[in-house]
Amino acid sequence: MSDGILASTISLKVDRLFAVDRKKYHGQRRQIPVLGGSYVPGEDNIKPMKKLARAALLAREWFAIHGPADAPPLPLSMGERESLKGGGLPHIVAWYARSLWCRNYDVEEHPSFFDYACGVTASEYAPDFIKKEHLLKRFPPRPLDGLGPGLCWKPPEEHARTMESLRRCREREDRIRAVIAARDAGGNNVVAR
């Protein structure tokens, strides 16, 4: 199936899912088709939801071709992602899917699954249980610029801004803790800056 036909087929499927919800469940809280989460058909703006649902389904098709042959299908909702979190390859697939979701499923912008998985095995943010010998052999640890807390990837410039913002927040929290500690120790004249 050509890319154009696939995109058209997915677009029709997404349109149909949202149309059914609008017809049957107008004004009632429903699960967003494909993505999970909730919305109210007939009241919420569905245009961005439909766009993201189409991108998600295209990303799933792309992952079926370009991801590992033994990987589960790319999960698209939080529930699907969480159900894969039991360690090993499926767990990394769940994180990769969340990282893609954070980038609106732009598979061309986001690093490949292999590069992402190698970045995960090298990351200080990855839990120890994911750094098993078989995964380290399959995905040799290699730092991935832009991979941060939560194992979500951002373009390196955006990642640097996020990390700087986190650093400033931690400094503010440290100053507040120091003021509270000084106050609790009897230094009532301490003022936070």
Three-state DSSP at 78 gives helix
- Both 58 and 2 in a single domain? yes
Three-state DSSP at 39 gives strand
- Both 59 and 95 in a single domain? no
- Both 143 and 159 in a single domain? no
The domain boundary, picked from 66, 95, 112, lies at: 66
- Both 166 and 148 in a single domain? no
Q: Give the containing element (helix H, strand E) for 148.
A: none
Three-state DSSP at 14 gives helix
Over the stretch 81-104, which tens digit does the pLDDT of each residue have? 999 999 999 999 999 999 999 999
Q: How large a percentage of the chain has pLDDT more than 90?
A: 73
What's the domain count of the chain?
A: 3
Over the stretch 145-182, which tens digit does the pLDDT of each residue have? 999 989 999 998 887 888 787 888 888 888 888 888 88
Its pTM stands at 0.82
CA–CA separation, 143 and 60 (whole Å): 25
